[in-house]
Amino acid sequence: MRDDPSVVALVARVCGSDQEAWHELVERYAPLVWSICARYQLDRGDIDDVGQTVWLLLVENIRNLREPAALPGWLATTTRRESITVLRKRDREVPVFEGPDEDAIRQHHAALGVPSGEVHQVDSLTWPGLTEQSRPGSQE
């Protein structure tokens, strides 16, 4: 595939600002990009992000390709690198706050000087719109 003259011609047309060639290039190589992302077990949102980044990088760098016939390899390498970047960022993410820490709430109430009998009243202000069953610490 490295000596595929159709790839060289397609890259030349894209570099010449041929919009139809760009669409043809994306249609031809999108399955390559998506399949590499899938091998890294990225979720749909991450696959979309990696794909967008890869295509943007191609737009920025297509005129700098030393060997236009090497485009499929460039796309594969760039997709792998971007997939790994997404996985590394995911490992560094801080978990999203999923609910209150009941000990922290008790400490907060104590710091405010709220008597324990009035905690429910404070919770009503803190958690408006929640039913009694959905409040932190309630029995389901």
Residue 122: predicted pLDDT: 45
Smallest CA-to-CA distance from 90 within 43, 55, 52 is with 43
**What mean pLDDT comes out for the span 103-118?**
63
Residue 1 reports pLDDT greater than 50: no
| CB 127 within 8 Å of CB 135 | yes
pLDDT score, position 112: 64
Query: Quick one: which of 98, 101, 57 has its CA closest to 29?
Result: 57
> Residue 32 carries which side chain, given as an amino acid letter?
L
Q: Which two tokens stand for residue 126?
A: 């803190």
Q: How far is CA 58 from the centre of its chain?
A: 19
Q: Residue 84: which residues within 8 A CB-CB, separation 6 or more?
A: 40
Look at residue 5 in the predicted model and tell me its pLDDT.
Answer: 86
Task: For the chain, list the domains and their CATH numbers.
Answer: 5-92 (1.10.1740.10), 102-134 (no CATH)
Q: What is the mean pLDDT of the chain?
A: 79
In this predicted structure, the answer to whether residue 120 has a pLDDT above a threshold of 70 is no
CB-CB contact of 68 with 12 (8 Å): yes
Compute the distance between CA of residue 114 and CA of residue 106 in angstroms, rounded to an integer. Answer: 9
CA dihedral 67, 69, 72, 75 (to 10 degrees): 30
Global pTM value: 0.63
- The pLDDT tens digits for 15-65 are 999 999 999 999 999 999 999 999 999 999 999 999 999 999 999 999 999
What is the per-residue pLDDT for 94? Answer: 54
Question: DSSP code of 100?
Answer: -
More confident residue, 60 or 107: 60
